[in-house]
Amino acid sequence: MRQAGRAHRQRPRPAAARLDRPARAGGQARRARRRAHRSARVRGRRRSSGCPQGPQGLAWLPRRLRLRPQRRRGRPQPGRRRLARLVAEAPRKLSGEERSPGRRRALPAPPRRARSVARGRGAARGRAASAGTVGLQSAPVSLPLDIAIAGTRGVPARYSGFETFAEELGRRLVDRGHRVTVYGRVPYVGPRPRRHLGMRVVPIPAPRHKYLESPAHTLLSAFAALRERHDVVLVCSGANSFALPLFRLGGARVAINVDGIDRLRRKWGPLGRLWLRVGEPMALLFADRAIADADFLACYYRERYGGRVECIAYGGDRPPPQSDAVLARLGLVAGEYVLQVGRLVPENNALLVVRAFARVRTDIKLVVLGDSPYCTDYKRAVHAAAGPRVLLPGGVYGDDYLALLRGAACFVAAGEVGGTHPSLVEAMTHGPAVVAHDVPEHREVLGDAALYYASGDEAGLAACIERVLGAPALAERLREAARARARERYRWEQVVERYEALFADMCREARP
């Protein structure tokens, strides 16, 4: 009897009972009360925030990630129960069953591979769906799609070729009825969302740092895209392949334009090259489709990593400029200057061009367009080597840039890393004879429509420039050959059609 009584006294009492009991001296009672209150608060938070309380599948995920749609005019905002039901029903809908009325029509899928293209907020927002038929295999596609472009500094183009690519592709996709969102960086596009040529520009903060700016911006863009639920996300640059799984988490199909072999750029140190080398197979592993802008680059990825890589180049047929006032502003005369375009980084070889031009016996000028916020030592070296016949106006864009292209007597393509350079394609379209660095990407783009010089050969580059300037018949032949090649292979209408067909094909395919 005494043992039973002792056992009864030693039995732990419930938390509620311990709270009702008068406080004892010492810290044991206070600790017990704090534990009981803490557990009660945690249970309350779980019930109110939607954290999983049992085997409910993924019904808690939209509330935990705050994937709430934006409010739309004339349509009430879906509540939490509706979002949970949509996520719970996603596997059944992805298997090919019809969606509820009122949502965008699904893509007609091939037999035994049924899948709906519209997901959640990827449906058309207030815009009537325009019927169209595009596809890699002539399959009908329901338009429009919700397309996002990430990995660039944003639009309008104010930095490099990827920004020009995003602007030209995005504006033409908008003209075809698609909804296009471009994730830009605050220092380049401003702090507020806005529209540019029909595209929605979303500013994302990014640190001004040589190595962290691009990955930090892409990572934050991926989190922002989770709230949007795009149909397709196009990521620019293979260096951003680490963020592809996050873009896929929102249900979007993800394509990546791998650009050139960035690890060969001289500006990177050992850690940067290792990061870029690891990113190459990740691009093929996590993307639904990988895209290269040159055949040699697509072959490199296929042979090295064995993945599927599409080859889609850029266009160069932009409308002619409205004015050539920039020539007078810079003190230039049409046909009496040589032009080089590119950021002032080592792999674009602006210093080599400046030194080679000093050997050219002529009175005409050299204009080097471009700037760089990080390679300050190299930029100072270029400015120090520039003589009185060399102009360094920095970055020039839009109509002013096209006017400088059309008025140049010779265009020097001196880059050594990359695929199809948009500036080179535009130079082929708009007029000047081309002298190019002898690398595979330039051979593929230009063929026989240029004069070539060997890597690091200042004398050879100077000789090529002198040949173009001293032989008008040769310059005209090169100019006409480049224009014909550009009309055949580098037109924006062809580029947009291929991207549109690729995006539609990605939405039709069942994801493994």
Task: Give tens-digit pLDDT for 139-165.
Answer: 445 568 999 999 999 999 887 788 999
Does one domain contain both 278 and 413?
no
Q: What share of the chain is helix, strand, coil (3-state, %, to 5)?
A: 45, 15, 40
Task: Give tens-digit pLDDT for 327-362.
Answer: 999 999 999 999 999 989 899 999 999 999 999 999
Cβ-based burial of 71 (10 A; exposed 0-12, middle 13-18, buried ≥19): exposed
Asked whether the predicted pLDDT for residue 57 surpasses 70, the reply is: no
Neighbouring residues of 512: CB distance < 8 A, sequence distance ≥ 6: none
Cβ-based burial of 267 (10 A; exposed 0-12, middle 13-18, buried ≥19): middle
Output the average pLDDT for the chain: 79
Q: Do residues 61 and 53 lie in contact, with contact meaning Cβ atoms separated by under 8 Å?
A: no
d(CA 142, CA 117): 8
The answer to whether residue 56 sits within a structural domain is no
Q: How many other C-beta atoms are found inside a 10 Å radius of the C-beta of residue 136? A: 13
Does one domain contain both 354 and 484?
yes
Does one domain contain both 118 and 248?
yes
Q: Which helix (H) or strand (E) holds 256?
A: strand 253-257
- The model's confidence at residue 26, banded by pLDDT at 50, 70 and 90, is low
Task: Give tens-digit pLDDT for 464-510.
Answer: 999 999 999 999 999 999 999 999 999 999 999 999 999 999 998 86
Classify residue 258 by its DSSP letter.
Answer: -
Cβ-based burial of 463 (10 A; exposed 0-12, middle 13-18, buried ≥19): middle
Does one domain contain both 170 and 240?
yes
Does one domain contain both 26 and 124?
no
Q: Do residues 238 and 273 lie in contact, with contact meaning Cβ atoms separated by under 8 Å?
A: no
Asked whether the predicted pLDDT for residue 70 surpasses 50, the reply is: no
Task: Give tens-digit pLDDT for 88-136.
Answer: 444 444 344 433 333 343 444 433 333 334 333 333 333 333 333 333 4
pLDDT at residue 142, as a whole number: 56
The answer to whether residue 67 sits within a structural domain is no
Does one domain contain both 235 and 163?
yes
pLDDT at residue 127, as a whole number: 35
- The model's confidence at residue 392, banded by pLDDT at 50, 70 and 90, is very high
The answer to whether residue 470 sits within a structural domain is yes
Does one domain contain both 168 and 291?
yes
d(CA 275, CA 469): 43
Q: Do residues 459 and 353 lie in contact, with contact meaning Cβ atoms separated by under 8 Å?
A: no
Residue 31 belongs to domain spanning: 2-45
The fraction of the chain above a pLDDT of 90, given in percent, is 54
The answer to whether residue 289 sits within a structural domain is yes
Integer-rounded Cα Rg, in Å, for the chain is 29
Q: Structurally, how many domains does the chain consist of?
A: 3
| 496 or 65: which leads in pLDDT | 496
Angle between helices 422-430 and 472-489 in degrees, nearest 10: 120
The answer to whether residue 52 sits within a structural domain is no
Classify residue 338 by its DSSP letter.
Answer: E
Does one domain contain both 196 and 120?
yes
- The model's confidence at residue 27, banded by pLDDT at 50, 70 and 90, is low
The answer to whether residue 68 sits within a structural domain is no
Does one domain contain both 286 and 414?
no
Asked whether the predicted pLDDT for residue 266 surpasses 50, the reply is: yes
Q: Residue 446: helix, strand or coil by DSSP?
A: helix
Q: For the domain that residue 230 is a member of, what is the CATH number?
A: 3.40.50.2000
The answer to whether residue 75 sits within a structural domain is no
pLDDT at residue 143, as a whole number: 67
Does one domain contain both 331 and 431?
yes
Give the range with max mean pLDDT: 31-45, 178-192, 254-268. 178-192
Does one domain contain both 205 and 243?
yes
d(CA 277, CA 343): 23
Of the candidates 216, 210, 212, 160, which has an alpha carbon nearest to the alpha carbon of residue 183? Answer: 216
The fraction of the chain above a pLDDT of 70, given in percent, is 73
pLDDT at residue 407, as a whole number: 95
Classify residue 96 by its DSSP letter.
Answer: T
Q: Do residues 215 and 185 lie in contact, with contact meaning Cβ atoms separated by under 8 Å?
A: no
| 305 or 366: which leads in pLDDT | 366
Average pLDDT over residues 429-454: 95
Average pLDDT over residues 76-87: 42
Q: Residue 226: helix, strand or coil by DSSP?
A: helix
Give how far the C-alpha of residue 50 lies from the chain's centroid of Cα atoms, to the nearest Å.
34
Does one domain contain both 218 and 155?
yes
The answer to whether residue 53 sits within a structural domain is no
Secondary structure E strands in 406-489: 410-413, 433-437, 451-453
